[in-house]
Amino acid sequence: MTRQPDNRIFPFESPDDSSGFLLWQVSNLWQRKMNAELSNLGLTHVQFVLLAGIVWLSSAKETITQARLAAHAKTDIMMTSKVLRALEKRGLVKRETDSRDTRAKSLTITPDGYELSLEAIKIVDKIDNDFFQNLGEQVGDFNHHLLSILGRNKDIPQLEEPENP
């Protein structure tokens, strides 16, 4: 005899009533679209986010460290380091020991990395516009709510930056 699942253990009637489950589904769909299009440039979405983060942070004319980039992108520091190593091998970024903190790596984007970022930004912008078009004029409210969620959860710790061997 097969046991039927007891759906009374869930605090909602339908999975469509779970904000977390819906967010997970939407996020996965959006990331699949991003990765599919960015793969034409030889990039993953995470690689793009980190490249674009370096471009964005470079406008402030401050030293960009791996830790600073991870905080900006809200990515895990260890994963950020691993992805940056791959981007460095491709000649898209330069990682150098920071002159003020020998434990930190400072980042600069190479000319090839910058050009690839410009191409990728156009792709990402188009995907975002298409993906979120049904929000219409509510996109500002949507972004406000996302920022509110991020702000409420800013105390979630990031992993420490790895020390240089």
- The residue segments making up the domain with residue 67 are 36-127
Closest CA to 106 of 140, 67, 143: 67
In a domain, 105, yes or no: yes
73/54 Cα distance (integer angstroms) = 10
- Tally of domains in the chain: 1
Angle at 152 between CA 130 and CA 24, to 5 degrees: 40
pLDDT in tens for each of the 165 residues of the chain? 566 666 678 888 888 889 899 999 999 999 999 999 999 999 999 999 999 999 999 988 888 999 999 999 999 999 999 999 999 999 999 998 877 777 778 899 999 999 999 999 999 999 999 999 999 999 999 999 998 888 877 766 654 444 433
Write the Ramachandran bin of 93: left for phi over 0, alpha for psi from -120 to 50, otherwise beta: beta
Closest CA to 157 of 49, 52, 76: 76
In a domain, 107, yes or no: yes
| pTM exceeds 0.85 | no
**Residue 93, H or E segment:** strand 93-97
In a domain, 165, yes or no: no
Q: Which CATH number is 122's domain given?
A: 1.10.10.10
Query: Is residue 125 packed enough to be buried (19+ CB in 10 Å), middle (13-18) or exposed (0-12)?
Result: exposed
In a domain, 121, yes or no: yes
**Angle at which helices 66-73 and 45-58 pack, to 10 degrees?**
110
